[in-house]
A and B are shown apart, each in its own frame.
Chain A
Amino acid sequence: MSQDAIIEIKDLEVVFGSGSAAVRAVNGVSLCVERGQTVALIGESGSGKSVTLRSLLRLHAPKRTSIKGSIRVAGHDVLSLSSSALSDFRGEVCSMIFQEPLLALDPVYSVGDQIIESIQRHKGCSRAEANKKALALFERVKIPSPERRLAAYPHEMSGGMRQRAMIALALACDPQVLLADEPTTALDATVQIQILLLLRELQKTLGLSIVFVTHDIGAAVEVADRIAVMYAGQIVEEGDVRTIMRAPRHPYTKALLQSRAHGSLDRGQRLATIPGAPPDLAKLPPGCAFAPRCAYAQDACREGTIALVSLGESHGARCRRTDVTHLPHTESVEA
């Protein structure tokens, strides 16, 4: 399976700061993304999902960050790229869209100029050609009356149009990998679904590989082939989207899915909650980081490192209790 992997992350560790205040944002993440696959990284704030994503483009300030492990994207060893190779890599091989396009787009240039400039810089083609390409991109991301919109400034566009324009900018240099950091979180519901469907379509027609970071399980279900659930800087469970949604085996994944308010729930019925709060990344507990909140936890869970347990083809959970976690908690106690 790894022969066709376009992204291979191995034992990634990202630490911000140093000494006793060091924040261990990512603690040994390994992830494989196949060509043409969409993987959703889901988790709550502070789970390390965005940090992992940003590491793929080496976006962290090198001075305050220490990164260990290896990241290979389409044959490039990202962590050892020179700075000029890195700027070619960004955009041409791998590009990124953000939650808030208004912050990611330059306010003093028209959206068209930004896309044209990017195409010219990476491809070295004439302005007329770049212009034609930009127009085609705007059509591809389904921006109505694209000629007129190319001349618009970011603040003149609505939220959904801006997000489309940012996707066009990200696709300007034909990357193979698209990284998406909560791209629909700031959008309205009717717009969010349009963008999710657009990403799905682009993935199919362009053969893109997408890593999609979100805290919204619904958004992940709409676009992803595989889901990786993160907690306290680790991937705690990974599998294809059906397995994760229907037969999660990590207690955190199970609790996360159960704690959502959803349609089949009666009004007034209490939601299942996860007690406590996520751990402080500067003082992680030994053993499983979820153990203090876990209904299935035993003493063994609180020591050593927890290995990923394979639970079938491309399904794994970082848990010592996977033998009972498919049962509801009450039955697992008896077992």
Chain B
Amino acid sequence: MNASLTIPTTNVAAIEQSPGYWSGVFKRFLRDRVAMCAAAVVLLLVLLALFGAFVTPVDPYQSSMLKRLKPIGTEGFPLGTDELGRDMMSRLMVGARLSLFMGITPVLFAFLIGSVIGIIAGYTGGWLNTAIMRTVDVFYAFPSVLLAIALSGALGAGIGNALISLTLVFIPPICRVAESVTAQVRSRDYVEAARASGANAFAIIRTHVLGNVLGPIFVYATSLIAVSMILASGLSFLGLGVKPPEPEWGLMLNTLRTAIYTQPWIAALPGLMIFITSISFNMLSDGLRSAMDVKQ
């Protein structure tokens, strides 16, 4: 009102734009060899999930009583055959699709729902926070495996219900992380300064909170993908998730368990895939975490 700004306006085109925060994260991530390896494996798995079904050497559903449990390295079946004589390699390739789907989808939904609840709880504080977080704690008190089995059991078998139950399992942990990260950001001076400018909660969350909390929550969520895969496999193993004859690693592990004494290597293959996938996702998330850590 009283201030008259007489300095000539700067030429807009001349503004030096700094590389943003994310380009720095990307650079640090590229330098992290372990994380890059993990990213390569994850990329391979995703490609397998998308296109595996089109390049299988043999029909993964084609069973043959004569070719049951052939060992690794058999002519025509490089990774042997399962208990119904189906080609292991083809089934593992096609299984990536369902397994990854079951691993990623629940985490994605839980990320969206849990973040919203957690950010609201963390930003508002007070009684609303207490109400939300105590409710979340009730779910959190159950071991995740038990909760997943109980929910799936109650909802009934099937992929859709397994996804719902896994989503419900992951909402509480994501919500807790979102709440604590948001509460931290909320106490920073820049949020105070935004409040002092008269901005309402919505504007502050949109401009100042989201950008600072979504990254850390996302990193945490990626670390849950491995857990989700293992839980989904467990549900399939118990007959609560994917139904036979669909190839899914957890289910394959289940059906091959009878062969553990005759062909232990073949029985272990689906487990190995689960192991590689989950460890890759974990290392990827560790890499993201350290790449996002700005030390000043």
Q: Is there direct touching of A and B in the complex, by C-beta distance under 8 Å?
A: no
